[in-house]
Amino acid sequence: MRKALALLLCFVIVFTGVGGKSSSRHTTDGSKKVYVTETGTKYHKKSCKHAKNADAIRLDDAVDFGYEPCKTCKPPILDTADDDKTVTYVLNKSTKKFHYPWCSYAKKISAKNYEETSKSASQLKKAGYSACGHCKP
Ligand SMILES: [Zn+2]
Ligand SMILES: [Zn+2]
């Protein structure tokens, strides 16, 4: 009986320990390595031709510094990564264009025309939207 109690106590300790760490999931994504150059405005995968002499930094740092994902090598994107697919594109309800959430034009959309969606590009095209020529979603 005493042994069972000790076992139960063990479980409680293990579960509270795990519970305390559950908020670290997002940081794992941001800790992915991407590559930036001193003069560039984009971040890259290591294999990208634009990433010669680039320095490895954390993805969340690259985003913090204002780097945008390279269009050639398509490096990982923070927030829209595997475990968070709720927002795929940003819509401009006035011009009927859709953008990647990181697009500089998407950030200029006025609040009344701005909408976030989880629909795919082909669904949006059927709904009468066209892809932005800048971010090319
Ligand atoms: Zn690149
Ligand atoms: Zn765009």
Could you give the CA distance from residue 100 to residue 2 in angstroms, rounded to a whole number? 59
Mean pLDDT of 89-106: 96
- Please tell me whether residue 4 adopts helix, strand or coil conformation: helix
Mean pLDDT of 75-88: 67
In the 8-state DSSP scheme, what is residue 76?
Answer: -
In degrees and rounded to multiples of 5, residue 71 shows phi and psi of -85, -15
**pLDDT value at 24 more than 60:** no
What is the 90 CA–ligand 2 centroid distance (Å)?
Answer: 8
Q: How far is CA 19 from the centre of its chain?
A: 25
Percent of the chain, pLDDT > 90? 61
**CA 55 to each of CA 23, 33, 73, 135: distance values in angstroms, whole numbers, following the listed order:** 28, 10, 16, 24
Q: Where are the domains of the chain?
A: 28-69, 89-131
Could you give the CA distance from residue 121 to residue 98 in angstroms, rounded to a whole number? 8
Nearest-ligand number for the alpha carbon of 132: 2
Higher pLDDT, residue 120 or 11 = 120
Nearest-ligand number for the alpha carbon of 50: 1
What is the 39 CA–ligand 2 centroid distance (Å)?
Answer: 23
Mean pLDDT of 101-123: 94
| Average pLDDT for the chain | 83
Nearest-ligand number for the alpha carbon of 91: 2
Cβ-based neighbours of 103, under 8 Å, separated by 6 or more: 90, 132, 134, 135, 137
